[in-house]
């Protein structure tokens, strides 16, 4: 944005002091969940080699914590987590989660990870219908598991699953219980993407007012947001505005249901809109995105922010002309900032100025009449091509993409059952 201000093109209201919360941290740590929550994207199953490649890229790009899998899921998963943990990352801490179950923590210990986020829900809804536990039983279980992890030399974090649908008094009691047992960090989890940014800020303020007045409870706060209403990034940023210093993210926004807060969106928003240091080498973001997309085999939407094919592509003649006069006319940042380059789309909306630019780059001289004719023919050609496209073919392509989502069908499930039982 400094280039934008130097050019005198706009006022950067993001830098006005009254728009910057006093609780905004100067440094935010990126806690990546791509290999855990991200891999829970329906149809995704990574090989150990794919996991290692992604983990190394996440490490090299500057993540503080990389959660590399869920050891309790299976023996194969535990082996893959252990392989990455023993191979070691140069900068990032290797983590793996555990339910508030001793056997889950043992699986993490056997996988040689150093940081274990323990999760158990705090919402009465989850306690009644999923866990079938009382509040007291949850706190007892939480104490036992955090102490067990600490006794085994682990860094232990507590993730209050379904935080944003929990009674605030009990939520904070659970956090205090975890901290008393030795938890190093706590996490606010918007598990079903249920809140608005202002509600996230309210919850963060309530937590801090109850915990941070006592120095022993002033531990770092992480935030974990899902994108069910398309607000995962906004809610993550809202939590950061109130002092959260660890953000859970997944590359390309992959994850359960509608996905998680997208790595690239959270990082670039913090770096560019808040001027908050994330430690991320942003010029490597696009390369990371492409590798993860290739291994997940889940295509990104063309219009995906930061990493989608159209994110830095200009179609309109007005926009293309603007970009030719100054690179920031229709772009908030330079594409090179995230390892990309600007592109122009030739089609129905192409303008005369862009045609003239292309002719000049090609060393072709043309009269104004010829330029106008070339422009008109490009427009007509695109329209004719579009008319020739088949909607049936589009549906076929869409079905082929859906077929990439592998899994066990109900028929296959019952075949397995009858073979064993």
Domain CATH code at residue 106: 3.20.20.70
Residue 372 is assigned to a structural domain of this protein: yes
Higher pLDDT, residue 346 or 286: 286
pLDDT higher than 50, residue 322? no
d(CA 280, CA 104): 31
pLDDT of residue 346: 72
Question: What is the signed CA dihedral for 267, 270, 275, 280, rounded to 10 degrees?
Answer: -20
Q: Evaluate whether 131 touches 125 at the Cβ level (below 8 Å).
A: no
**Which structural domain range is residue 328 located in?**
313-388
End-to-end CA distance of the chain: 64
Tell me if residue 224 falls in helix, strand or coil: strand
The secondary element (H helix, E strand) that includes residue 125 is helix 124-126
Which long-range contacts (C-beta less than 8 Å, at least 24 apart) are formed by 168-175?
Answer: 168/203, 168/206, 168/207, 168/210, 170/122, 170/124, 170/135, 171/122, 171/207, 172/206, 172/207, 172/210, 172/211, 173/139, 174/122, 174/138, 174/139, 174/142, 175/207, 175/211, 175/217
Going along 334-414, which residue ranges are E strands?
343-344
Tokens 């992959």, residue?
254
Does one domain contain both 291 and 151?
yes
* Helix 352-361 × helix 368-388 angle, to 10°: 110
pLDDT of residue 259: 96
Tokens 């010029």, residue?
283
Does one domain contain both 188 and 249?
yes
Highest mean pLDDT out of 100-104, 305-309, 333-337, 340-344: 100-104
Does one domain contain both 335 and 239?
no
d(CA 279, CA 93): 14
Q: Evaluate whether 307 touches 264 at the Cβ level (below 8 Å).
A: yes
| Weakest-pLDDT range from 28-42, 211-225, 261-275, 351-365 | 351-365
Residue 191 is assigned to a structural domain of this protein: yes
Q: What is the pTM of this model?
A: 0.88
* Helix 48-61 × helix 75-87 angle, to 10°: 40
d(CA 87, CA 80): 11
Residue 376 is assigned to a structural domain of this protein: yes
d(CA 319, CA 329): 8
Domain count, the chain: 2
Does one domain contain both 351 and 254?
no
C-beta atoms surrounding 380 within 10 Å: 11
Does one domain contain both 243 and 356?
no
At 15, is the pLDDT very low, low, confident or very high (cuts 50, 70, 90)?
Answer: confident
pLDDT higher than 90, residue 394? no
pLDDT of residue 8: 53
At 317, is the pLDDT very low, low, confident or very high (cuts 50, 70, 90)?
Answer: very low
d(CA 4, CA 13): 12
Residue 290 is assigned to a structural domain of this protein: yes
Closest by CA position to 188, among listed 59, 24, 31, 39:
31
pLDDT of residue 357: 73
Does one domain contain both 285 and 321?
no
d(CA 303, CA 353): 25
Going along 202-360, which residue ranges are E strands?
221-225, 246-249, 313-314, 343-344
Does one domain contain both 348 and 262?
no
Does one domain contain both 238 and 355?
no
Residue 13 is assigned to a structural domain of this protein: no
pLDDT higher than 50, residue 318? no
Does one domain contain both 202 and 317?
no
Does one domain contain both 290 and 181?
yes
Does one domain contain both 291 and 319?
no
d(CA 234, CA 40): 22
> What mean pLDDT do residues 205-218 have?
96
Phi, psi (degrees; rounded to nearest 5) at 65: -130, 135
pLDDT of residue 93: 96
At 410, is the pLDDT very low, low, confident or very high (cuts 50, 70, 90)?
Answer: confident
Q: Which residues contact 140 (CB under 8 A, 6 or more apart)?
A: none
Measured over the CA atoms of residue 108, residue 64, residue 234 and residue 285, the dihedral's sign is negative
Residue 216 is assigned to a structural domain of this protein: yes
Residue 417 is assigned to a structural domain of this protein: no
> What mean pLDDT do residues 90-100 have?
96
Does one domain contain both 136 and 217?
yes
Q: How far apart, in Å, are the Cα atoms of 280 and each of 243, 244, 263, 272?
A: 19, 17, 10, 12
Q: How many CA atoms lie within 13 A of 216 on its CB side?
A: 7
d(CA 332, CA 40): 32
Q: Evaluate whether 338 touches 285 at the Cβ level (below 8 Å).
A: yes
Residue 16 is assigned to a structural domain of this protein: no
């Amino acid at each position: 944005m400094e280039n934008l201000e130097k050019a005198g093109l706009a006022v950067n209201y993001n830098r006005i002091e009254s728009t910057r919360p006093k609780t905004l941290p100067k440094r935010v740590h990126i806690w990546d969940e791509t290999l855990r929550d991200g891999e829970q994207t329906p149809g995704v199953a990574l090989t150990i080699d794919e996991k290692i490649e992604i983990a190394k890229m996440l490490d090299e790009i500057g993540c503080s914590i990389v959660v590399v899998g869920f050891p309790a899921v299976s023996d194969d998963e535990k082996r893959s987590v252990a392989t990455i943990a023993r191979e070691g990352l140069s900068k990032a801490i290797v983590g793996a989660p555990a339910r508030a179950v001793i056997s889950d923590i043992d699986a993490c210990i056997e996988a040689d990870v150093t940081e274990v986020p323990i999760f158990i829900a705090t919402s009465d809804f989850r306690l009644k219908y999923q866990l079938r536990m009382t509040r007291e039983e949850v706190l007892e279980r939480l104490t036992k598991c955090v102490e067990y992890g600490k006794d085994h030399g682990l860094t232990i974090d507590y993730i209050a699953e379904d935080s944003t649908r929990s009674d605030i008094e009990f939520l904070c009691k659970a956090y205090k219980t975890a901290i008393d047992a030795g938890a190093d960090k706590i996490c606010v989890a918007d598990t079903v993407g249920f809140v608005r940014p202002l509600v996230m800020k309210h919850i963060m303020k309530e937590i801090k007012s109850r915990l941070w007045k006592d120095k022993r409870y002033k531990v770092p706060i992480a935030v974990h947001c899902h994108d069910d209403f398309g607000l995962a990034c906004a809610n993550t940023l809202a939590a950061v505005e109130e002092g959260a210093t660890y953000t859970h993210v997944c590359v390309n926004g992959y994850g359960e249901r509608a996905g998680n807060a997208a790595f690239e969106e959270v990082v670039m928003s913090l770096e560019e809109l808040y001027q908050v240091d994330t430690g991320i080498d942003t010029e490597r973001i696009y390369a990371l995105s492409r590798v993860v997309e290739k291994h997940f085999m889940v295509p990104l939407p063309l219009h995906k922010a930061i990493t989608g094919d159209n994110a830095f592509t200009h179609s309109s003649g007005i926009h293309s002309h603007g970009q030719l006069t100054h690179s920031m006319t229709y772009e908030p940042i330079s594409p090179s900032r995230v390892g990309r380059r600007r592109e122009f789309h030739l089609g129905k909306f192409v303008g005369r100025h862009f045609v003239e630019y292309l002719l000049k780059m090609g060393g072709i001289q043309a009269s104004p009449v010829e330029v106008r004719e070339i422009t008109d023919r490009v427009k007509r050609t695109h329209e004719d091509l579009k008319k020739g496209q088949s909607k049936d073919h589009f549906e076929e392509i869409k079905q082929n993409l859906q077929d990439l989502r592998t899994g066990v069908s109900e028929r296959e499930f019952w075949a397995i059952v009858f073979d064993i039982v």
